[in-house]
Amino acid sequence: MFTITTICKNVSFSSYLVLQARLKSKTHWAKLKKKTSSKYKAMNHFDDFYGSIFGDKWKPMKEALLRRNKYVAVVNNYGEPEETIEFLTNRGAHCLNKLTSVQQEFYKQYPPEKIELSKQNNGNNKLQDYREKLQTEEISNLYHQKEAPEQLDFSDVSLKYSNEQEESKLNDSKSNYESAKEQTINHDIDQSRIIDPSMGISSEALYQYIPATKLKGMDDWVPESLHYSFYSKSNDFPLVIDPETEFKMPEHLKVYTYEMDSEWKMFPEPKRCTTGVYNYYPMDCGSVLAVLALCLAPGDRLLDLCSAPGGKALVALQTLLPDIVVCNDTSISRCNRQHRIFRDYLFDFNTSNKWRERVMFTNVDGRLFTDDQGFDKVLVDVPCTTDRHSVTEDENNIFRPDRIKERLRLPELQAQLLTNALTLVRVGGAVVYSTCSLSPIQNDGVVHMALKNAFQDHSIVAAVKDLTASFAGLSSTLQLGSGDIAPQYGQLVVPTIGANFGPSYIARLVRVK
């Protein structure tokens, strides 16, 4: 504040000029908006959840997720493959087949260590502790902090389900929370709110003083801890885990990549060949592994149950092995995008009859998909939290407030899709389940749940194929989860700064009955 004195003849007066100063402690509106964005909420959630599960290993994963992810180049066999391979080789890229074969020879002499059961049990305990902590926070947040310790008995709503309750899809969880709520809101009447009728207030005006008796929206409320209650390892069904012996790299599938910690990280944009199609398809290496885990054979009939946008189905066609590929997805817009990708990479796709006989498209809910002939291989790349997208993009983010129920119901949806896939595959055929998530709930938890449901509901028995030895040759290209973060049923591609692929989870199941 400044004082200005003015003298006018014999009269003097002072005027004050006030300058508004910005408070340094005030938070800028852009930062406030950032903290409420969907990707900010997703990162807070992952920090809490994955930090509890992975411990110190979560920090480097988080750093990698926030950076630009790395891709491999799948050479298009329907373009000019020789010229494309020469172009990629001149840029310092290596053939994934050759890198894998060199590493596999090494691991024949020094096999990778097997997962210890104690480490798996340790992971289960961490998840159980996190779930119980989350349940406590959910209940306490519903009520005043002063009242919660005195009136809430958290043991009544601990959600420690038995095997029989798990079979009922945990539908009684909300009733447990409601009963706890009813016990808590039984308070004495606040006498200060009583209005004397002599005050002359009309009866209509009194309606605004009626206290609330229930929380709006509680009918649709889903507890966060319900999401983690789907993780169960009860062995009340035939569970077989065998090493995979049929795995081999397809001869005609040419995938090029840069080695771990290489100076080269990204490939240039694909270009059109003289045939009009693009020369290679860039994609995450974890997605390629899902196709490799199918162990495709000549003449296979393949179903891609959640196919769009179509990258994995395109890689399957690049192996030149399956006779028929059925691409199914419920989203019309995503299917249209898949059509465009196939036109861009498969020569004469719109006009040739051979493609109409070989590639079929359907728009059916994957849980309701039926087929009379059966499939040799089924790929189930389920909807998931897509961890990398969730922490980097707000658009179509699963952590948006209007998608909370959808996110919390993901494990149930994923298990239903995988269970139906096991009914669609022939005896002796294989189902590959994959996600883009680090969550043990959506990965091992869903596989276990689907195996159990398939046995109890359809008398189907499937063996889990351990891909540890098969994928060991990829150690110079990407990092797989090992030690206490290694899944029991599948393989986990862990994002790192040097090899920023994934996250991806791949599990191979072979139907034996």
Active site amino acids: 436
d(CA 509, CA 428): 10
Cα pseudo-dihedral 231, 236, 241, 246, rounded to 10: -100
Q: Is the peptide bond before 495 cis (omega within 30 degrees of 0)?
A: no
Was 329 annotated as part of a binding site? Answer: yes
* Chain-centroid distance, C-alpha 338: 21
d(CA 467, CA 290): 11
Was 129 annotated as part of a binding site? Answer: no
> Which residues, in sequence order, are bridge partners of residue 507?
433
d(CA 354, CA 425): 24
Was 299 annotated as part of a binding site? Answer: no
Q: Does the CA dihedral 234-237-241-244 come out positive or negative? A: negative
Cβ atoms < 10 Å from Cβ of 78: 17
Instruction: Count Cβ atoms within 10 A of the Cβ of residue 418 and give its class: 0-12 exposed, 13-18 middle, 19 or more buried.
Output: buried
359-362/462-466 β-pairing: unpaired
d(CA 471, CA 474): 6
Find all residues with CB under 8 Å of 69, minimum gap 6, and list them.
Answer: 284, 388, 495, 500, 501, 502
Terminal C-alpha separation, the chain:
86
d(CA 431, CA 406): 25
How far CA 327 is from CA of 281, 309, 340, 479, in Å, comes to 18, 10, 14, 30
How far CA 213 is from CA of 142, 173, 185, 186, 189, in Å, comes to 14, 21, 9, 10, 12
Was 308 annotated as part of a binding site? Answer: yes
d(CA 437, CA 431): 19
User: What are 427's two structure tokens?
Assistant: 């005896």
Was 268 annotated as part of a binding site? Answer: no
Phi, psi (deg, nearest 5) at residue 261: 65, 20
Find all residues with CB under 8 Å of 334, minimum gap 6, and list them.
Answer: 308, 309
Was 430 annotated as part of a binding site? Answer: no
User: What are 403's two structure tokens?
Assistant: 């998608």
The 8 Å CB, 24+ separation contacts for 13-22 are none
User: What are 57's two structure tokens?
Assistant: 């290993």
d(CA 457, CA 241): 21
Was 309 annotated as part of a binding site? Answer: yes
Q: Is the peptide bond before 149 cis (omega within 30 degrees of 0)?
A: no
Was 307 annotated as part of a binding site? Answer: yes
Question: Do 283 and 72 form a contact (C-beta atoms < 8 A)?
Answer: yes
Amino acid at 219: D
Binding-site residues from annotation for S-adenosyl-L-methionine? 306-312, 329, 365, 381
Binding-site positions read 306-312, 329, 365, 381
